[in-house]
């Protein structure tokens, strides 16, 4: 083949490739524009040239969005490994943080959620994995109503008597259940019985959780009576305090009744009831 024939053939091939590339770019622009929700402003100007091709119907052979995948999550930075748990929350002004441990329990947790919703306040629930797994609907309700869910291990063991691998399993398994039912992995952890050790602090940090204890212990698990619980909360109220109560692990009817009394009293006294924010 002569040189001029080769040049003519090469020009033809390049022209065909450019045409295909322009068509592919136009198709890609149309595909990414679909579903944006942008409304047209005014009548569209008539298109020049040949009429645009009608979009193809969806096909099993065309790429579709992956189900269950949304925008990429922000990278979570791991908290520091602490040597002691946080006891109160600073920087929130005249605020009290209410926390409830051991649930969720369908006998008491719904009533507590009802009272919190009545006064439009948020609380923290440190749940046990086995209870959360059995009552995921209550964790979903906590998420819907803006409450914070923390990790209280799977079976409420005394961590100081467990091997490190068992402590991790107790914490990690509960994280998985919380994420499945509440919608995100927990950012706070509380050791059962308040028994902390080095492994609990290290593993909690590795799993992205801050250790939170409490400032005011209502001792409601001893069934002291609703009036006594109310007095302990109101006497201990101060900016940044964390109040410990329970919504499971026994008869918690006194805790339910006490909340109905001390919550409006706290609000009337000028306190806000809120949940803490992450510090990192």
Residue-level pLDDT at 91: 79
List, for residues 27-51, the tens digit of each pLDDT value.
333 322 222 222 232 333 334 444 4
Residue 156 annotated in active site = no
**Which residue of the set 101, 102, 220, 247 is catalytic?**
101
Count the neighbouring beta carbons within 10 Å of the beta carbon of residue 168: 18
Virtual CA dihedral for 211, 177, 273, 242, nearest 10 degrees?
A: -30
Q: What is the pLDDT of residue 55?
A: 41
Q: Tens digit of pLDDT for each residue in 51-72?
A: 444 443 433 323 333 333 344 4
CA distance 154 to 49: 67
What confidence tens digit (pLDDT) does each residue in 146-195 have?
999 999 999 999 999 999 999 999 999 999 999 999 999 999 999 999 99
Gap between the Cα atoms of 10 and 212, Å rounded: 72
Measured CA to CA, the distance from residue 254 to residue 224 in angstroms comes to 8
pLDDT, tens digit (0-9, with 9 covering 90-100), for 72-120:
455 567 899 999 999 998 877 899 999 999 999 999 999 999 999 999 9
pLDDT attached to residue 242: 97
pLDDT given for residue 267 in this prediction: 98
Q: What three-state secondary structure class fits 22?
A: helix
pLDDT in tens, 229-275: 999 999 999 999 999 999 999 999 999 999 999 999 999 999 999 99
Is residue 254 reached through a cis peptide bond, with omega within 30 degrees of 0 on the bond before it?
no
Most confident among 16-20, 24-28, 191-195 (mean pLDDT) = 191-195
Q: Scanning the structure block, which residue is given the tokens 């909690």? A: 204
Find the catalytic residue in 135, 147, 152, 246: 246
Task: Give the integer Cα–Cα distance in Å for 190 and 171.
Answer: 10
- pTM higher than 0.85, yes or no? no
Please confirm, yes or no, whether 101 is among the known catalytic residues. Answer: yes
Q: Provide the 3-class DSSP secondary structure of residue 216.
A: strand
Dihedral sign for Cα 110, 116, 122, 123, please: negative
Map out the domains of the chain with their CATH numbers: 95-273 (3.20.20.370)
């Amino acid at each position: 083949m002569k040189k001029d024939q080769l040049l003519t053939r090469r020009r033809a091939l390049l022209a065909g490739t450019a045409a295909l590339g322009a068509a592919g770019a136009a198709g890609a622009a149309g595909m990414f524009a679909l579903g944006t929700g942008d409304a047209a402003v005014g009548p569209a100007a008539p298109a020049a040239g040949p009429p645009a091709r009608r979009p193809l119907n969806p096909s099993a052979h065309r790429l579709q969005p992956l189900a269950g995948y949304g925008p990429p999550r922000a990278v979570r930075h791991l908290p520091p490994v602490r040597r002691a748990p946080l006891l109160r929350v600073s920087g929130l002004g005249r605020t009290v943080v209410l926390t409830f441990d051991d649930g969720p329990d369908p006998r008491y947790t719904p009533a507590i959620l009802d009272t919190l919703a009545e006064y439009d306040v948020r609380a923290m629930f440190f749940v046990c994995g086995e209870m959360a797994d059995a009552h995921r609907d209550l964790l979903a309700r906590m998420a819907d109503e803006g409450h914070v869910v923390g990790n209280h291990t799977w079976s409420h063991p005394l961590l100081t008597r467990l091997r490190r691998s068992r402590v991790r399993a107790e914490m990690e398994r509960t994280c998985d259940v919380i994420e499945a039912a509440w919608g995100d992995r927990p950012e706070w952890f509380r050791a059962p019985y308040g028994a902390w050790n080095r492994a609990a602090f290290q593993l909690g940090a590795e799993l992205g959780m801050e250790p939170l204890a409490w400032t005011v212990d209502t001792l409601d698990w001893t069934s002291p009576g609703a009036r006594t619980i109310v007095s302990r909360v109101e006497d201990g109220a101060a900016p940044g305090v964390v109040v410990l109560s329970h919504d499971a692990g026994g008869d918690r009817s006194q805790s339910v009744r006490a909340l109905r009394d001390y919550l409006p009293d706290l609000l009337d006294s000028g306190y806000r009831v809120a949940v803490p924010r992450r510090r990192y």
